[in-house]
């Protein structure tokens, strides 16, 4: 079952988000172990009005257990949603991270998608993406975009199978990503 995330989902979605963005998580905590970022992501997943807030997530549940998450929002809001996270990193963790634009106005942005390893290969990720595309259409968006690591071929193929096309290349925090879009 797919549902809107709630504040109580923060502990599980924090772990799932880290699994989706290990390369970035290590930079957010300045540690080679991405799981050191769990407290950081729990904190922001439980807060309102930020990039990683439960407010921007849909979760997939089996037997009342969250097994997957997708995080998405209006690209126009990216910098405003990102600001609290970047400020926290700079002020509380003393980590300087550039506030690089991942998306822009006119694009509904899929920030992260993660399916627990035990449930991968069962079409759950595809269902979450389709549900978020439907949400974007219902909100009047004509484009849905995302970034996928140039090294994640399986993820890229999944997005292509749903109609996403590469529209550019982005460099964020030293990593290379395909910018993909779907005309919704």
**What is the rounded distance in angstroms from the CA atom of residue 29 to the CA atom of residue 150?**
23
DSSP 33: -
Chain mean pLDDT for the chain: 93
**What is the rounded distance in angstroms from the CA atom of residue 131 to the CA atom of residue 159?**
14
pLDDT tens across 134-170, in order?
Answer: 999 999 999 999 999 999 999 999 999 999 999 999 9
Give the pLDDT band of residue 133 (cuts 50, 70, 90). Answer: very high
Give the pLDDT band of residue 94 (cuts 50, 70, 90). Answer: confident
pLDDT at 26: 85
Do the bridges between strand 165-172 and strand 143-149 make them parallel or antiparallel, or are there none, so unpaired?
A: unpaired
pLDDT tens across 16-50, in order?
Answer: 999 998 888 888 888 899 999 999 999 999 999 99
CB-neighbour burial class of residue 1 (10 A; exposed 0-12, middle 13-18, buried 19+): exposed
First-to-final CA distance of the chain: 23
The domains of the chain, with CATH numbers, are: 2-183 (3.40.630.30)
pLDDT at 15: 97
pLDDT at 98: 64
**What is the rounded distance in angstroms from the CA atom of residue 158 to the CA atom of residue 154?**
6
173 pLDDT more than 80: no
Helix, strand or coil for residue 164? Answer: coil
């Amino acid at each position: 079952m797919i549902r809107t995330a709630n504040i109580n989902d923060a502990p599980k979605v924090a772990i799932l988000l880290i699994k989706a963005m290990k390369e970035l998580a290590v930079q957010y905590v300045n540690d080679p172990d991405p799981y050191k970022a769990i407290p950081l992501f729990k904190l922001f997943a439980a807060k309102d009005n930020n990039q990683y807030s439960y407010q921007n997530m849909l979760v997939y549940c089996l037997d009342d257990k969250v097994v997957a998450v997708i995080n998405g929002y209006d690209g126009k809001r990216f910098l405003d949603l990102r600001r609290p996270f970047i400020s926290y990193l700079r002020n509380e963790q003393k980590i300087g991270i550039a506030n690089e634009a991942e998306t822009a106005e006119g694009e509904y942005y899929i920030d992260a998608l993660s399916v627990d390893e035990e449930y991968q290969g069962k079409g759950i990720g595809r269902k979450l993406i389709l549900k978020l595309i439907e949400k974007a259409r219902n909100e009047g968006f004509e484009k849905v975009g995302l970034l996928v690591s140039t090294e994640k071929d399986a993820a890229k193929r999944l997005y292509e199978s749903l109609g996403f096309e590469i529209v550019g290349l982005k460099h964020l925090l030293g990593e290379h990503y395909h910018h993909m879009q779907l005309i919704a």
